[in-house]
Amino acid sequence: MALMTHTQPLPDEVDGVFVGGGHNSLVAAAYLARCGLDVLVLEANSTLGGGVTTEEITLPQFRHNLHAFFVRWTADYTIWNDLDLDRYGVQAIFPEVQNAVPFDGGQRALLNYRDIDRSVAAIAALSPADADTYRQVHAEFTEIVDRIEAPLRFAPPLAKDEFRERLARSGLGRRYLELADRSALDVINDTFSAEPLRALLAFNVAVRGYLPVIDEPGTGYCAVLALVNSHQGRMIRGGSYEMAKALYASGYDAGVRAVNNSRVASIEVSDGRAVAVETDDGRRVRARRFVASNVPADQTLLDMVEPSHLDDALVMALRNHRALEEGLFGVHFALGRPPRFTAAAEQPEILGSLNFALGYESHEDLLIDHRAIAERVVPDHTGLHSSFPTVNDPTQAPPGAHTTFAWQFVAAREPDGADRVWTQADNDRQVKAVIECYRRYAPDFEDCVLGVAAHSPTDTGAHLTSMPRGDRHHGSFHPDNWGADRPHRSVSDYRTPVDGLYLCGSSQHPGGSFTGNPGFNAAGAIADDLGLQVWWPRRDATAVLDALT
């Protein structure tokens, strides 16, 4: 007999309502509940976490991370520590091998590691000069990340002119500007000569969502981050969804309550203030103090709020908002055994790499996909971001079995500007191309396959309406949509023109990826406006930059 699902009752009123149960909402809700607020999270789907999800989409007991896979969270990460996530059983795995770039048709591979000395030694086999440069640049870029990039992601963005003026006061700040003003591609290619190394770094820029803009001046900071972060990747034991569960458990213990299958259709505004939300089935909750939306700014303000509450300039800007130019075409495999990579003859540890760049043997291979995205076509070339999570975490498959995924960067739109809609025939064609790419580097790959599931950008948008066309970052990373201009300067501080209405999702600084930064920063803005006693350590962007002098 089929189980009956019943509409869950909602409270008449609470202090604050979060629209959407993505990880940024869960982060912000947990912080604010610890301030004593009565907080409710309303999620449209049947599970919390948004893109932080792990599902058995191929065969039972084979767990697949459909969106978020690797993270840089550790037990000393600000949010992990503040929310005491260790109490909730979540564990991060830190693989020794971080990235693998097979080249020479798969005969060889460049590996990089947690350990810088091992990474430099691997680079030296390709180019001693690049190895020496890498060690020097890694030290310099690490200081820039530790003192500028990382702390500024835990603070609302400064206005562009003030940001640049404060940076220009110090030598390190001026060096940051010198790098950031260039394109990520130029920073990489002007610094290194060995093509597998260029490919590795450009790949790490691409996985952040920057492939469409990798050649844009003003993206050089991402090359700095990519080099440093390429030694810092982690994965969550049991799958990424374990982190979503831990975040909610932490919030639940502080008083947060969530209700699934409750899609917010509208945000009620009275006398210029957000006062309530209503679901698509007519349930209403009054918000005594605030409403915060994890949904992208354009969907929140244009679809859920009457545009008459906004000025015309903001409405126009949101209608022309820069969406992410790409989506990810994903293919997930259940494997009966691990495949044998040709390069494993010399580098047997290759299969344990956290991330694989398959089909990206040189930076030119990434530029093929970059141009295809700009032209809005699917390239004949197949390059993949891949991993075999079960090598480092056997809990994600039955004993002796494995999983792998392949994500291909593809154009989000058709040449005429229409949304690209992936049909079953499109999916079948791409799955074949993906398998051929695997076989180029692991010839027995197809013999290992027990089950396959494709997950196109169309599938992503259908399941997560906050990610239309597979827009996993809620907007482009073009310099025009960054910092105090993300997504528009009038809403970049997480506040909106509607009193009591806030934005806490990835359309806000510092953008997408599984970081929790937008939720953390939005919680601070809400706490400040409500006059709450803030219990957690905060970052101030001006103090961060002034400390450089």
pLDDT digits (tens, 9 = 90+) for 458-494: 999 999 999 999 999 999 999 999 999 999 999 999 9
pLDDT tens digits along 226-262? 999 999 999 999 999 999 999 999 999 999 999 999 9
Q: What pLDDT score does 79 carry? A: 95
Task: Answer whether residue 332 shows pLDDT above 50.
Answer: yes
Q: Directed axis angle between helix 184-191 and helix 220-229, to 10°?
A: 60
Residue 75: its pLDDT value, please? Answer: 62
How far apart (Å, rounded) are the C-alpha atoms in residues 142 and 423?
44
User: Band of the pLDDT at 4, cuts 50, 70, 90?
Assistant: low
DSSP bridge pairs for 493:
none
* Sequence-distant (≥ 6) Cβ neighbours of residue 238 within 8 angstroms: 54, 63, 91, 393, 395, 396
Tell me: the pLDDT tens digits for 5-50?
678 899 999 999 999 999 999 999 999 999 999 999 999 999 999 9
Average pLDDT, the chain: 96
Say what the alpha-carbon torsion angle 349, 353, 359, 360 is, to the nearest 10 degrees.
Answer: -110
What confidence tens digit (pLDDT) does each residue in 73-119 have? 766 789 999 999 999 999 999 999 999 999 999 999 999 999 999 99
Cβ atoms of 21 and 41 closer than 8 Å: yes
d(CA 66, CA 30): 25
- Cα 494 from Cα 501, distance rounded (Å): 9
**What digits encode the pLDDT tens for the residues 269-326?**
999 999 999 999 999 999 999 999 999 999 999 999 988 999 999 999 999 999 999 9
| Residue type for position 442 | A
**Residues 223-235 as b or e (16 or more Cβ within 10 Å = b):** bbbbbbbbbebbb
**pLDDT value for 1:** 44
CB count, 10 Å around CB of 115?
12
Give pLDDT, residue 5. Answer: 60
Mean pLDDT of 393-419: 97
- Structural domains present in the chain: 13-51+240-322+476-539 (3.50.50.60), 92-113+325-471 (3.90.660), 115-231 (no CATH)
The whole-number pLDDT of residue 27 equals: 98
pLDDT tens for 446-462 read 999 999 999 999 999 99
**Mean of the pLDDT values across residues 149-168?**
96
The pLDDT, as a whole number, for residue 70 is 83
pLDDT value of residue 128: 98
| Cα gap 523→532, rounded to integer Å | 11
Q: Give the pair of three-digit tokens for residue 263.
A: 């899609």
Q: Which two tokens stand for residue 472?
A: 């996993």
The CB-side HSE value for 459 (13 A sphere, CA atoms) comes to 16
3-state secondary structure of 348: helix
Residue owning tokens 């899609």: 263
Q: Is the pLDDT of residue 3 over 60?
A: no
One-letter-per-residue 3-state SS of 86-146 = HHHCCCEECCCEEEEEEEHHHCEEEEEECCHHHHHHHHHCCCHHHHHHHHHHHHHHHHHHH
